[in-house]
Chains A and B, each alone.
Chain A
Amino acid sequence: MIRRRALLALGAVALLALAAPLLPPYPLTLVTQALVVAILAMSLDVLLGYTGLPSLGHAAYWGVGAYTVALLATERGVGLAGCAVAGVLLAGAVAAVFGLVAIRAAGTYFLMITLALGMVVWGLAFRWVSLTKGDNGISGVPRPELFASPLPFFYFALAAAGLAWTLLALLVASPFGLTLRGIRESESRMRSLGYNVWLHKYLAFVISGAVAGGGGVLWAYYNGFVSPTDVQLITSVEALLMVALGGPGTLAGSVVGAGVIVFLKNFVSLYTKRWLLILGAVYIGVILFAPRGIVGALRRRSVR
């Protein structure tokens, strides 16, 4: 089964790689954006879909990655490799600290704490003006020369998303991945079987945060501009919706969800300013009528 999914994924990647040169510029940037955002969605899926931990503050780690790149690249002239490593490590470190507080909590408290922690990062981005330039954001993040123009950057994003997908797919297919799903299904049983549930949840949290940071790194290069909007609550909510829409616990669903939301957002914005209203309605619709998401529903049908 893993082999079949890997083949499907490879096929999708090949399709995108081949189609890209043929796409007009605007759709190309949208697909690129979808790939970058998919990294955030996938990282959240590991936490929400596989471990059963609903995080409403995931934009925080995305933001840490993005701001790290923005600051290092514009103020210190650090290159891609340095920025990327710093961004991922810092995001992981923040997740490591936040995780100590959040993982102790169960269910509802976890949701609220992650939201509050996300606001801490937003608050710092917004108010620590001397560091982050506050509301003005940091602009002029230079792309690495090799990937400066849209098409090369698309391939760069595709490779990065592919790498993220590969790492996370291996993670969820590993014994550790099964452990996470067991925790989702019954923590008490896992404890009585001998698992240190806290430790596993914590590891999942840190890994998820680091990967989200990686997505943020890519976002900084894609967008060229990083601001508190990138770490606001709505960004975390959008990520949650991508996972819910695509199908929690499927990884591929998060990619699909990211694509749908990015396209929907940009498409809707052409006709109306009421994007949030539509997003909220879509959210409610998905929860009521498609609790397993798109990919989840497709997979269920194929098993029957």
Chain B
Amino acid sequence: MSRPDFWVIQTFNGLSYGALLFLLASGLSLIFGVMRIVNLAHGSYFMLGGYIGLTVALRSGSFVAALLGGAVAVALIGIGMERLFLRRLKGQTLGQVLMTVGFALIFQDLALLVWGGDPHSIPVPPALTRSFTIAGVVFSGYRLFLIVLAAAVAVGLWLLLERTRVGALVRAAVDDAEMAQGVGINVPRTSLGVFALGAALAALGGVAGGGFLGVYPGTDFEVLPYAFVVVIVGGLGSLPGAIVGSVLVGLLDNFGKALFPELSYFTLFAPMALILAVRPTGLFGRA
């Protein structure tokens, strides 16, 4: 493969991975924005979404159903976690975070119990797996699908946050939860909604990723650090941050793996460290 082709392909691959990361990280960032907690079970949402999507796809034969089914199911799990458990520790951020760790462990073991230890692939419609050629370079159709999906979600989120009444409520709650409560906004219900949305987004990423990387035990803790790097670099609670962060991390990781395979994580985290050294709350973050 010629040199320019290499860079083009790697950039494309990096963007598609970034697309997947965006689905994962945007939810994490949103959840932090309203609730000020880092959900360490977020990787688990990704994984469970993939597994549930797998089952739906196999039973129904529809990829769309898999996407929706995974997202809805995990959103419900997220709602359950928040309402029944996290809410009991209102105000204790560390306690809540540690609690999400407990859930992450439980989810990991449950997934192992239900779906076993072997990797699976989610069947995707042939239309998506077609590859196409531009200027002699072959691109994967599924990767393009990921990019398009993520872009659509990004636009949808932006519209939701900036142009709808619900979005205004969310932005108010992110800005100053106490104040928002004071002017009559039902912050607990808004938070719950955002939590469900964040979980659904992660699950969507899990199903979409599942058609591409497969679903297997360990994805939860494997993607979690990537989600973290995205929100650390982009800044918690910021949608533009999540977009920029995902693209950056996707590209860095891809090029890192291609050029220095033995140091893969390191090539990712060194830039993260650099960015943090200059801006401790990330590029677009708030404290």
Seen from chain A, the residues whose Cβ lies within 8 Å of a Cβ on chain B are 54, 56, 100-101, 104-109, 111-113, 115-117, 119-120, 122-124, 127-130, 232-234, 237, 240, 244, 274-277, 279-284, 287-288, 291
Interface string of B34-64 (1 = CB under 8 A from A): 0011101000000000000000000000000
Known contacts A127-B265, A291-B92; 18 additional CB pairs below 8 A are A104-B277, A105-B280, A108-B37, A113-B228, A115-B225, A116-B229, A119-B269, A127-B263, A128-B262, A128-B263, A233-B221, A233-B224, A240-B101, A280-B106, A283-B99, A283-B101, A287-B95, A287-B102
Q: Give the chain A neighbours of B37 by CB distance below 8 A.
A: 108
> Known: A108-B32, A123-B265, A280-B106. Contact between A287 and B273, CB under 8 A?
no
Check if B269 sits within 8 Å of A117, measured CB to CB: yes
The stretch among B15-23, B108-116, B145-153, B203-211 that forms the contact with chain A is B108-116
Contact A104 B276 (CB under 8 A): yes
A288 contacts B88, C-beta separation under 8 Å: yes
Q: A107 vs B285: C-alpha distance in the bound complex, in angstroms?
A: 14
Query: CB-CB < 8 A to A113: which residues of B?
Result: 228, 232, 276
Indicate if B261 sits at the interface (CB-CB under 8 A).
Answer: yes
Distance of A123 Cα from B226 Cα, bound (Å): 12
Q: Which residues of A contact B232 (CB under 8 A)?
A: 109, 112-113, 116
B94 at the interface (CB under 8 A from A): yes
How many whole Å from B98's CB to the nearest CB in chain A? Answer: 5
Given contacts A109-B232, A117-B269, A280-B104, contact A127 B264 (CB under 8 A): yes
Number of interface residues of B (CB under 8 A): 49
Q: Is the CB of B266 within 8 A of A124?
A: yes
Query: What are the residues of chain B within 8 A of A277 when measuring CB–CB?
Result: 105-106, 109-110, 113
Subset of 27 A-B contacts with CB under 8 Å: A108-B93, A109-B232, A109-B281, A111-B97, A112-B38, A112-B228, A113-B228, A116-B225, A119-B265, A119-B269, A120-B266, A123-B264, A124-B263, A127-B261, A127-B265, A232-B221, A237-B105, A276-B112, A277-B113, A280-B102, A280-B105, A282-B102, A284-B99, A284-B106, A287-B98, A287-B99, A291-B95
B103 at the interface (CB under 8 A from A): yes
Which residue of chain B has its CB nearest to the CB of A134?
B262
Q: Determine if A280 and B103 form an interchain contact, defined as CB atoms under 8 angstroms apart.
A: yes
Per DSSP, chain B at the interface is: helix
- Known contacts: A113-B276, A287-B89. The answer to whether A279 contacts B105 by CB under 8 A is yes
Q: How far is the CB of A52 from chain B (nearest CB, A)?
A: 8
A63 to chain B, nearest CB (A): 13
The residues of A that contact B38 with a CB separation of less than 8 Å are 108, 111-112
Say yes or no: A116-B269 contact (C-beta < 8 A), given A101-B277, A287-B89: yes
B231 within 8 A of A: yes
Nearest CB in chain B to that of A244: its residue: B98
Complex contact B236–A108 (CB within 8 A):
yes
Interface, chain B (partner A; CB < 8 A):
32, 36-38, 40, 85, 88-89, 92-95, 97-99, 101-110, 112-113, 221, 224-225, 228-229, 231-232, 236, 261-266, 269, 272-273, 276-277, 280-281, 287
List A contacts of B263 (CB < 8 A).
124, 127-128
The interface residues of chain A lying within 8 Å CB-to-CB of B104 are: 280
Q: A113-B276, A120-B266, A123-B264 are in contact. Are A234 and B221 (CB under 8 A)?
A: yes
B35 to chain A, nearest CB (A): 11
B residues in contact with A130, CB < 8 Å: 262
Q: How far is the CA of A116 from the CA of B270 in the complex (A)?
A: 11
Q: Which of B108, B262, B277 has the most CB of A within 10 A?
A: B262
Contacts of A54 in B (CB 8 A): 94, 97-98
A190–B261 Cα distance when bound, in Å, is 45
User: How far is A124 from B261 in the complex, measured between Cα atoms in Å?
Assistant: 10
B-chain residues with CB within 8 Å of residue A279 when the two chains form the complex: 102, 105
Q: How far is the CB of B196 from chain A (nearest CB, A)?
A: 20
Which of A129, A130, A276 counts the most B-chain CB atoms under 10 A from its CB? A276
Contact B272 A116 (CB under 8 A): yes
User: B residues within 8 A CB of A291?
Assistant: 92, 95
Residues in A neighbouring B88, C-beta threshold 8 A = 288
Give the most central of A109, A233, A288: most B CB within 10 Å: A109
Chain B nearest CB, measured from A204 CB (Å): 17
Question: What residues of chain B lie closer than 8 Å to A274, measured between beta carbons?
Answer: 109, 113
A35 to B38 CA separation, bound complex (whole angstroms)? 32
Q: Is the CB of A120 within 8 A of B265?
A: yes
Q: Is the CB of B109 within 8 A of A276?
A: yes
A284 proximity list for chain B (CB < 8 A): 85, 99, 102-103, 106
Query: For residue A234, which residues in chain B have a CB less than 8 angstroms away from its CB?
Result: 105, 221
Query: A37 vs B89: C-alpha distance in the bound complex, in angstroms?
Result: 29
Q: Which residue of B lies closest to A236 (CB)?
A: B101
Contact partners of B262 in chain A: CB under 8 A: 127-130
Query: A240, B98: Cβ atoms under 8 Å?
Result: yes
CA distance in complex: A282, B98 (Å) = 12
B102: which A residues are within 8 A, CB to CB?
Answer: 279-284, 287
For the complex of A and B, list the 7 residue pairs with the smallest distance between their C-beta atoms, beginning with the closest.
A123-B265, A280-B105, A283-B102, A280-B106, A277-B109, A284-B102, A276-B109
User: How far is it, in angstroms, between the C-alpha of A210 and the C-alpha of B113 when the chains are bound?
Assistant: 38
Q: How far is the CB of B81 from chain A (nearest CB, A)?
A: 10
B84 smallest CB distance to A (angstroms) = 11
| Chain B residues with CB below 8 A from A127, complex form | 261-265
Give the chain A neighbours of B113 by CB distance below 8 A.
274, 277
